[in-house]
Amino acid sequence: MENYNMERKSPFSEVKMSERGAYYIETFGCQMNVRDSETAAGLLETLGFSSASEKENADVILFNTCCVRDHAEKRVFGNIGAMKELKDAKPNLILGVFGCMMQQPEVAQKLYKRFPFVDIVFGTNLLSRLPAFVESAEHGSRTLAIEENNIQIEDDLPSIRTGMINAFVNINYGCDNFCTYCIVPYVRGRERSRDPKAIVEEVKKLVAEGYSEITLLGQNVNSYGKDLSDATFAKLLQLVSGVEGLKRIRFMTSHPKDLSDEMIEAMATLPNVCHHVHLPMQSGSNEILSRMNRKYTRERYLEIVRKLRNAMDDVEITTDIIVGFPGETEEDFSQTLDLVDQVGFASAFTFKYSPRMGTRAATMEDQVSEATKRERLHRLNELQEKKSRENNEKYVDRVGIVHVEDCDMRGDPVCYGKCSNFKMVYFAGSPDLIGQYIPVRMEKVRKNSLYGTQEDQPL
């Protein structure tokens, strides 16, 4: 399944030789970072660099970092430390670290000092200055640059897209919600919506390049337009939906507090908007939701789920859940289990609460012990696995239209891709089906996916 907040390998794999050299980008974190790495790649290619398939062949290596949880941070430090050997062997190698983690001045400074072989360190807001940073590294200067204020959104930076069949399109940047556990508003700045015209233009360009599916990206897509004069997410969906040739529109992430009836209506009526909502619930306890500053209750959450399902009988809902938030009692946690049981999510990303320096929750009393967090996560995952299986079983003997992402050629070729509602389906097929929309009858349930047979000719 396409993952949210998972560390990823650089997908920029094509090897071309160029005058200036080759680059490799390793991306940690969420889709925002994946999208930023596409821009970093575009900027480097404008300078004359080309992509390398392996770090070992690269002349510029960049790490795009995440700091949403402790785990993400540790991995970044480990990965950068491991670069020393390569740098010793190849002194002209340019090493850079950017992204959310480097937007925190004290962390950026610590990294800059601890790893003197790193040439470039800059915060996520300064991405457009990457070419200048690389050029000064070529002249032997180190850079440490953190801009605390938000900079202007630059819409037209070059980029190299990595999705084979789906392209990411930013619609709003930053976040104003300040959930008490979350570092994102501090490192991504205040919420800023892109001009709807610029979004539609970008989508048109992507369709002209051959993409028929896009994902609109924002930390909270539902609050899109609140800083513009006459724009809402529902209206944006309408505008984007009208782009000729666009078959599927996805979006993430939806914050429950801003999910409007108009948005549900737009989803249900516009033919190319996918019937999937990633709707992080975080907790099932009203007390914890309030301490998290989420601004909705479990009752409101259930009401939204009901409305979505009334409007679209095939809609699927996925979620994010945190266990062990400060003060979470066994009773609070049982409310989370109960809500998971009632909703029946197609899948869930589940996390142990990880204190982030500078956030309100980090200094709250009643921090939950690691052992309790681990034990609760285990119980939650067991329940969700059962619910995911049940959810998949509903689809056996139904036909879904699969947008084929790729084909696994180890052994007998197996194609895979998603239905509109995000169900992942595998079936025997050949690589020429990649990019096509194929009707597949689902026959068997696998752990997190379904397995079926192609029904008919491609649509």
* Least spacing, CB of residue 320 vs ligand SF4, in Å: 8
Apex 5 CA angle, 369 and 145, nearest 5: 100
The answer to the question of residue 68 lying near ligand F3S (CB under 6 A) is yes
Omega before 39 within 30 of 0, i.e. cis = no
Q: Structure tokens of 457?
A: 């000719």
Among 67, 102, 160, 433, binds ligand F3S (CB under 6 A): 67
- Answer yes or no whether residue 5 interacts with ligand F3S by CB under 6 A: yes
Number of residues that bind ligand SAH (CB under 6 A): 18
66 is an interface residue for ligand F3S by CB under 6 A: yes
- Select from ligand SF4, ligand F3S, ligand SAH, none the partner in contact with residue 67, using the beta carbon and a kind-dependent cut-off of 5 to 8 Å: ligand F3S
DSSP string, 243-256: STT--EEEEE---G
Q: What φ, ψ does residue 60 adopt, rounded to 5°?
A: -130, 125
Contacts of residue 136, Cβ cutoff 8 Å, sequence gap at least 6: 143
> Binding of ligand SAH at residue 326 (CB under 6 A)?
no
Site pattern 196..235 for ligand SAH (x: CB under 6 A):
-----------------------xx---------------
292 binds, among ligand SAH, ligand SF4, ligand F3S, none (CB under 5 to 8 A by kind): none
CA distance linking residue 373 with residue 354, whole number of Å: 10
Q: How far is the CB of 355 from ligand SAH (least distance, A)?
A: 7
Shortest distance, position 342 Cβ to ligand SF4, whole Å: 22
317: left (phi over 0), alpha (psi -120 to 50) or beta: beta
CA distance 203 to 216: 10
Looking at residues 152 to 191 of the shown chain, list those that interact with ligand F3S (rule: CB under 6 A).
184, 187-188
Helix (H) / strand (E) element for 335: namely helix 330-343
Tokens of 365: 């009393």
User: Which tokens go with 228?
Assistant: 């513009």
Q: How far apart are CA 233 and CA 236, in angstroms?
A: 5
DSSP label at residue 56: G
CB of 185 to ligand SF4, least distance (A): 5
For the CB of residue 220, give the shortest distance to ligand SF4 in the complex, in Å: 5
| Residue matched to tokens 């979620």 | 319
Interface segment toward ligand SAH; rule CB under 6 A; list 109-117, 349-357, 382-390, 405-413: 349-357
The whole-angstrom separation of Cα 416 and Cα 225 is 35
Q: How far is the CB of 287 from ligand SAH (least distance, A)?
A: 17
Window of 54-62, 188-196, 347-355, 402-410 that interacts with ligand SAH by CB under 6 A? 347-355
Output 30 or 438, the one with its CB closest to ligand F3S: 30
Residue 369 and residue 362: Cα distance in Å, rounded?
Answer: 13
User: What pairs with residue 145 in β-bridges?
Assistant: 122
Binders of ligand SF4 among residues 224 to 263 (CB under 6 A) are 255
Beta carbon nearer to ligand SAH, 11 or 280 = 280
- Interaction of residue 255 with ligand SAH, rule CB under 6 A: yes
In whole angstroms, give the CA distance from residue 81 to residue 364: 33
Give which of 316, 177, 169 is closest to 251, Cα–Cα: 169
Residues 35-64 that bind ligand F3S (CB under 6 A): none
Q: 162-181: which residues touch ligand SF4 (CB under 6 A)?
A: 175, 177-179
If one asks whether residue 182 binds ligand SAH (CB under 6 A), the answer comes out as yes
CA distances from 238 to 196, 233, 342 (A): 11, 9, 31
If one asks whether residue 351 binds ligand SAH (CB under 6 A), the answer comes out as: yes
| Closest residue by beta carbon to ligand F3S | 29
Per-residue CA distances from 184 to 89, 157, 178, 220, 357 (Å) = 37, 23, 8, 11, 12
214 binds ligand SF4 (CB under 6 A): no
Name the residues that contact ligand SAH, by CB under 6 A: 5, 68-69, 181-182, 184, 219-220, 253, 255, 280, 282, 320, 322, 351, 353-354, 356
Name the residues that contact ligand F3S, by CB under 6 A: 5, 29-30, 32-33, 66-68, 100, 184, 187-188
